[in-house]
Amino acid sequence: MAYINGVGIISPQNTLPGSGFLEPAVEHTADFLRSVEPVYKSYIDPIVSRRLSRLIKMGITSAKICLQDAGIEAPDAIITGTGLGSVEDTEKILGELTKEEKFLNPTPFIQSTYNTISSQIAINLKCHQYNSTYVHRCFSLESCLIDALLQIQDGSATNVLAGGFDEMTHNHLTIIRRLGLWKREVIRNLDLWTCETPGALAGEGSAYFIISGERTEKTYALLAAVETLYRPESTGETAAFVVHFLSENGLIPEDVDIVLMGNNGHAEHDSICNEVIMQSLPGAARVLYKHLCGEYHTVSGFAMYIAANIIKRQLIPPSLLIHGLASKKLGNILIHNHFRDTDHSFILIRK
132 touches other proteins (CB under 8 A): yes
46 touches other proteins (CB under 8 A): no
Using the contact rule CB under 8 A, the part of the chain among 65-73, 87-95, 253-261, 313-321 near other proteins is 87-95
Please report how close the Cβ of residue 260 comes to other proteins at its closest, in angstroms.
22
Phi, psi of 194 (to 5 degrees): -110, -5
Burial class (CB in 10 A: 0-12, 13-18, 19+), 137: middle
84 touches other proteins (CB under 8 A): yes
Residue 290: which residues within 8 A CB-CB, separation 6 or more? 192, 200, 201, 203, 262, 263, 264, 265, 299
Instruction: Identify the residue among 40, 114, 209, 245 touching other proteins (CB under 8 A).
Output: 114
175 touches other proteins (CB under 8 A): yes
Side-chain-side CA neighbours of 130 within 13 Å: the count stands at: 19
- Residues 137, 54 contacting (CB under 8 angstroms): no
119 touches other proteins (CB under 8 A): yes
Instruction: Identify the residue among 13, 35, 116, 300 touching other proteins (CB under 8 A).
Output: 116
Interface pattern 208-237 for other proteins (x via CB under 8 A): --------------------x-xx------
Please report how close the Cβ of residue 223 comes to other proteins at its closest, in angstroms.
16
- Residues 217, 207 contacting (CB under 8 angstroms): no
Nearest Cα neighbor of 62 from 169, 202, 161 is 161
What one-letter code names the amino acid at 309? Answer: N
Closer residue to other proteins in complex, CB, 13/298? 298
Question: For residue 14, how many other CB atoms are within 10 A of its CB?
Answer: 15
Instruction: Identify the residue among 18, 42, 50, 126 touching other proteins (CB under 8 A).
Output: 126
d(CA 307, CA 305): 6
Please report how close the Cβ of residue 42 comes to other proteins at its closest, in angstroms.
22
97 touches other proteins (CB under 8 A): yes
Phi, psi of 181 (to 5 degrees): -95, -10
Please report how close the Cβ of residue 178 comes to other proteins at its closest, in angstroms.
6
Q: Is 42 helix (H, G, I), strand (E, B) or coil?
A: helix
Please report how close the Cβ of residue 235 comes to other proteins at its closest, in angstroms.
17
Where along the sequence are the contacts to other proteins (CB under 8 A)? 78, 83-85, 91, 93-98, 100-106, 109-110, 112-116, 118-120, 122-123, 125-137, 139, 143, 147, 150, 153-154, 171, 174-175, 178-179, 228, 230-231, 342-343
